[in-house]
Structure 1
């Protein structure tokens, strides 16, 4: 990248960020970093959340580990000296409330004098809107790339292919969901005596599944905006045909699956890229059709 042109971007908190040149060295929260990698921007390093340990969570890493992108550990425990040595031009995080970055204390970025961009992954935006915003950021970070005349940049090719792929995957899923009509319950296991049952409209990707015709089960009234916490008996009471289970490292597998119920993996922190969601939609379509 030449980085010769000025750069500016307004994140989903309404915070304007600018620099004299396009940022070349990106450090990101692992979910954001995996999405940027899909969009043709390779971070110099990524960090995790409070749920993450000292190594990559395979469910959240996307292609980062295979691409050799270093993982720095949980964001709240980051070694600021190490982060400074990486000389980041920009830090990219996500936000669930439209106010604060999720995985890194913004004071860290302030002390380093590095701009922090936070993009929303909460339910105030639809999944297509979230994907669009990450696409806009990816395009802005690729803007300084030196590309021979007549050549389509690799990141643009990847982004275009991902957008086409997610549209095709949605069409397949819509067709399968309409034919089967199976009831789907999304959950995150918390142990032998407890499970968190997802409220579909609280999760942009689950709301998108519902819009595509997937019959998602609501766990019913009770406390919790995103989850209803219950015992595994409640899962049987809801009578799902298929369980979407949280496959992140800190979650536990389903303990009590009712007889005949199918299982499919769900990552509540799927990288917000068209390519990643195309894979998820295809896998779910295959599970529904099995």
Structure 2
């Protein structure tokens, strides 16, 4: 495909986004923009979700050059005119199922699609991480990007390191994924609902589930309940909307703090081999450190 030929990409809603030429000015949801950057595509702008504020969340932006990428804002600050101020010729959004553009009001999304081609990548629980990563890679290639020649090898090495660490760690120490909400409560991830956490389980990591109850992706638990999960390693949400784990002073949690190791976790992960390899490496390092005492 050349720059002069018609451009088309069928997104995860089954809808083709088309253009007379290859898009060169991409506006993306922050997760998508940071992922595309790992594939050599620099978006002209990014936008956040209702969890975000007036500045981009550094936990979500990866290695994006924020001095060269326009952050449009998030939540109520987003309208069609704001989103289109950089004159993008393609919007790349994500969905958690049902095709809805995450982070955008439905009316805003509707009017946006009337004015510019939109690609939606489904990052929801029904997708495997490999599938999502592959879709971003396909899109990046069609936008003129190129895969990092060493990324696949680095990911394979990280997977094997983690697999070996899980086998070698006595007692299969429990790993819990938490998003601290307050001094009273946390959100505990249900592992089967998160593609990245399912990969950990596939590689032999013991990812513990919170108690059954309300909440599809998260269980809302008190810190005593979080402590009762007896984690040795905690994947802690480092997005700006989460409370830092080291600020939690709940007595029940203090009892397990001294014996746990923490790994920074972004529940909206960059879906690139490079980013995934970095995450797996951090988990492997924590397992190795636990094994050595």
Secondary structure of 1:215's partner? coil
Which of 146, 156, 161 is 1:156 aligned to? 146
Name the residue aligned to 1:240.
231
Name the residue aligned to 2:206.
215
- Alignment of structure 1 residues 1-290 onto 2, 5 Å: 3-66=3-66, 68-74=68-74, 76-105=76-105, 106-111=109-114, 113-142=115-144, 155-158=145-148, 160-180=149-169, 181-254=172-245, 255=248, 256-257=253-254, 258=256, 259-290=258-289
- Residues 233-264 of structure 1, C-alpha deviations (whole Å, 9 max, x = no match): 01111111111110101101222351311111
Judge conservation of contact 1:12–1:98 (CA < 8 Å) in 2: no
Runs of 4+ in 1 over 4 A off after TM superposition: none
Judge conservation of contact 1:247–1:265 (CA < 8 Å) in 2: yes
Structure 1 position 170, deviation (Å): 0.9
Judge conservation of contact 1:49–1:76 (CA < 8 Å) in 2: no
Secondary structure of 1:156's partner? coil
Structure 1 position 19, deviation (Å): 1.3
Q: Aligned pair count?
A: 276
Tell me how large the CA RMSD over aligned residues is. 1.7
The TM-score with structure 1 as length reference comes to 0.90
- Residues 64-101 of structure 1, C-alpha deviations (whole Å, 9 max, x = no match): 14562121111552253343331111100100013211
| Partners of 2:130 and 2:67 in 1: CA distance | 26
| Partners of 1:278 and 1:247 in 2: CA distance | 18
The TM-score with structure 2 as length reference comes to 0.90
Sort the Cα spacing of 1:93 and 1:5 in 2 relative to 1 into closer, same or farther, 3 A. Answer: same
Judge conservation of contact 2:163–2:203 (CA < 8 Å) in 1: yes
Moved more, 190-199 or 69-78: 69-78
Judge conservation of contact 2:140–2:146 (CA < 8 Å) in 1: no
Please, which runs of 5 or more residues in structure 1 have no aligned partner?
Answer: 143-154
Structure 1 position 102, deviation (Å): 0.5
Structure 1 position 116, deviation (Å): 1.0
- Residues 91-142 of structure 1, C-alpha deviations (whole Å, 9 max, x = no match): 001000132110224124134x101111011111111111111111111111
Secondary structure of 1:107's partner? helix
Please, which runs of 5 or more residues in structure 2 have no aligned partner?
Answer: none
